[in-house]
């Protein structure tokens, strides 16, 4: 699968698009003032221990306290050698309030939730991941099994040599599969130096200090997003091209030859209509080429995706029409998950299929497309109700949460009360006020549509209420008010 990486840089924001065969598959956005925290190492301070939840709140110097669960404490995971977990001590016997604690962010703050932490520190390098608290040497599961044993024994020898320092465990990343011994040794030395700097800072700095920050999005492009399928990496900033070229020459030499400075007159994202794709990715409805469509609804608990045939009537019979639509939807859904960065629990409602071979084929195609995702996904089979339940690992905000905020009028509900409903609310509120107060006049301040309704269709009801309470009721239109907003002023 050939891919191109486009980087649009500005002082306030970096945007990275991964394009495959002319279609945007992934979009990564990092804003200077809102840079993600995943991978950062802090010297935290235990603010509160919650035995009932087997968790603790840790102050790491952010606006909200971060969250540490007992399962994320070092030693709570299975021993790599035996693959068996030791009995986990209760959290109240492992940490106490006021205790300084070395922690790493494993999930960014999302919504009202603080960052999630772990005391199991891992530092990602170009070819390896360093586990300073362990002595385990492993190889990425994505590398074929027949090569894994040979690579593990080779890495164990390198880790044990004197010239790379000593201590700590390592996991070989997929892009380190073909690396030379010299390259691996350099990465080992670099990671151990980084860990030494973190330990030194932990002794010198006060609790709540940032000890280590993960690479910027610009640098992570070379470290994490470039694969053997990547043809070009194009960036539209001359200054950042030089920065990235220098970084790549030192840490990712094989990627430097694909790095290009974009000098075109058109904005780089216009090459593949990426801004238009971003706008579509923020909408509920996704059109399919066949005439069918998807409806994507994101809530705090889960995301639902509904598949519809729409105007597609092209197949030979009804069963074939549904089958073709579901197959196309399987491709589109996998792409939308990557593009929108949707995570957590996802429910997919494919159109009901009568034939079992059709269901099997759609599910197989869906899993195949999910297999191209760099983020971990798991998908079950069809449930009794014909739904497919799946999960996608969530480590950062979705595209919609990053670029949008709840509507001021509907507060994220997606709908508002009708003008007539609001008018009747106002009439009831005036009656309620009249039983408690005795003003000279009531003045209704509301949106233009509600005021217009009172002057026209609801004028009789307003006059009747005025006669009933024996007080005049005046109207004032306020264009800045949303349809559900109103004030009743007692004069």
Would you state the pLDDT for residue 265? 86
* 452-488 core/surface letters (b: 16 or more CB in 10 A; e: else): bbbeeebeeebeebbeeeebebebebeeebbbbbbeb
Token reading at 73: 């404490």
* 343-354 core/surface letters (b: 16 or more CB in 10 A; e: else): bbebbbbbbebe
Token reading at 328: 């196309």
Would you state the pLDDT for residue 83? 45
Would you state the pLDDT for residue 335? 93
Token reading at 243: 């920065």
| 335 neighbors 374 (Cβ within 8 angstroms) | no
Would you state the pLDDT for residue 165? 54
Going residue by residue through the chain, which has 491 residues, state the pLDDT in tens, using 9 for 90 and above: 688 999 999 989 999 999 988 889 999 998 887 788 889 999 999 999 999 999 999 999 888 899 999 999 987 655 544 445 566 789 999 999 999 999 999 988 877 788 999 999 999 887 889 999 888 888 887 777 777 888 888 888 888 764 545 678 899 887 777 778 887 887 888 888 889 989 999 999 998 899 998 888 898 888 888 888 899 999 999 999 999 999 888 777 878 889 999 998 889 998 888 988 888 888 889 999 888 899 999 887 899 999 998 776 665 678 888 899 999 999 999 999 999 999 899 999 999 988 899 999 999 999 999 988 888 889 999 998 889 999 998 767 788 888 888 887 777 777 889 999 999 999 999 999 998 888 999 999 999 999 999 999 999 999 999 999 999 999 999 998 888 999 999 98
Would you state the pLDDT for residue 81? 47
Q: Which pTM does this prediction carry?
A: 0.71
Would you state the pLDDT for residue 375? 83
Would you state the pLDDT for residue 6? 94
């Amino acid at each position: 699968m050939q891919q191109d990486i486009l980087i649009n840089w500005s002082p306030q924001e970096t945007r990275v698009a991964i394009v495959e065969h002319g279609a945007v598959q992934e979009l990564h956005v990092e804003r200077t003032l809102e840079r993600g925290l995943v991978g950062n190492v802090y010297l935290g301070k235990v603010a509160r221990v919650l035995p009932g939840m087997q968790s603790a709140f840790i102050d790491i110097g952010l606006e909200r306290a971060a969250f540490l669960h007992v399962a994320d404490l070092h030693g709570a995971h299975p021993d790599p050698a035996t693959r068996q977990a030791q009995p986990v001590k209760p959290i109240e016997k492992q940490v106490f309030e006021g205790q300084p604690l070395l922690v790493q962010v494993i999930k960014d703050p999302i919504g009202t939730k603080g960052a999630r932490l772990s005391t199991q520190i891992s530092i990602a390098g170009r070819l390896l991941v360093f586990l300073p608290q362990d002595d385990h040497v492993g190889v990425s599961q994505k590398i074929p099994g027949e090569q894994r044993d040979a690579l593990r024994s080779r890495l164990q020898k390198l880790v044990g040599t004197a010239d790379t320092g000593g201590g700590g465990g390592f996991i070989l990343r997929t892009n380190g599969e073909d690396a030379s011994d010299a390259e691996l040794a350099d990465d080992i030395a670099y990671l151990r130096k980084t860990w030494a700097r973190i330990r030194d800072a932990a002794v010198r700095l006060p609790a709540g200090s940032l000890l280590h920050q993960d690479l910027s999005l610009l640098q992570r492009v070379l470290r994490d997003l470039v694969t053997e399928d990547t043809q070009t990496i194009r960036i539209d900033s001359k200054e950042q091209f030089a920065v990235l070229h220098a970084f790549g020459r030192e840490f990712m030499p094989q990627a430097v030859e694909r790095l290009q400075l974009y000098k075109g007159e058109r904005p780089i994202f216009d090459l593949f209509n990426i801004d238009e794709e971003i706008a579509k990715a923020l909408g509920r409805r996704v059109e399919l080429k066949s005439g069918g469509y998807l409806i994507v609804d994101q809530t705090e608990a889960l995301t639902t995706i509904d598949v519809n045939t729409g105007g597609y009537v092209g197949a030979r019979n009804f069963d074939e029409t549904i089958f073709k639509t579901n197959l196309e939807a399987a491709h589109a859904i996998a792409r939308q998950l990557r593009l929108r960065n949707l995570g957590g629990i996802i429910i997919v409602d494919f159109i009901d299929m009568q034939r079992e071979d059709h269901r099997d084929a759609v599910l197989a195609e869906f899993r195949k497309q999910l297999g191209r995702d760099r983020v971990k996904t798991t998908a079950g089979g069809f449930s009794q109700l014909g739904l497919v339940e799946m999960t996608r690992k969530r480590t950062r905000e979705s595209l919609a949460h990053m670029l949008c905020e709840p509507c001021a009028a509907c507060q994220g509900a997606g709908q508002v009360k009708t003008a007539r409903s609001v008018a009747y609310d106002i009439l009831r509120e005036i009656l309620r006020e009249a039983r408690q107060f005795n003003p000279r006049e009531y003045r209704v301040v509301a949106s233009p549509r509600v005021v217009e309704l009172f002057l026209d269709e609801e004028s009789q009801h307003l006059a009747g209420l005025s006669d009933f309470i024996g007080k005049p009721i005046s109207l004032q239109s306020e264009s800045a008010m949303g349809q559900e907003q109103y004030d009743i002023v007692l004069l």
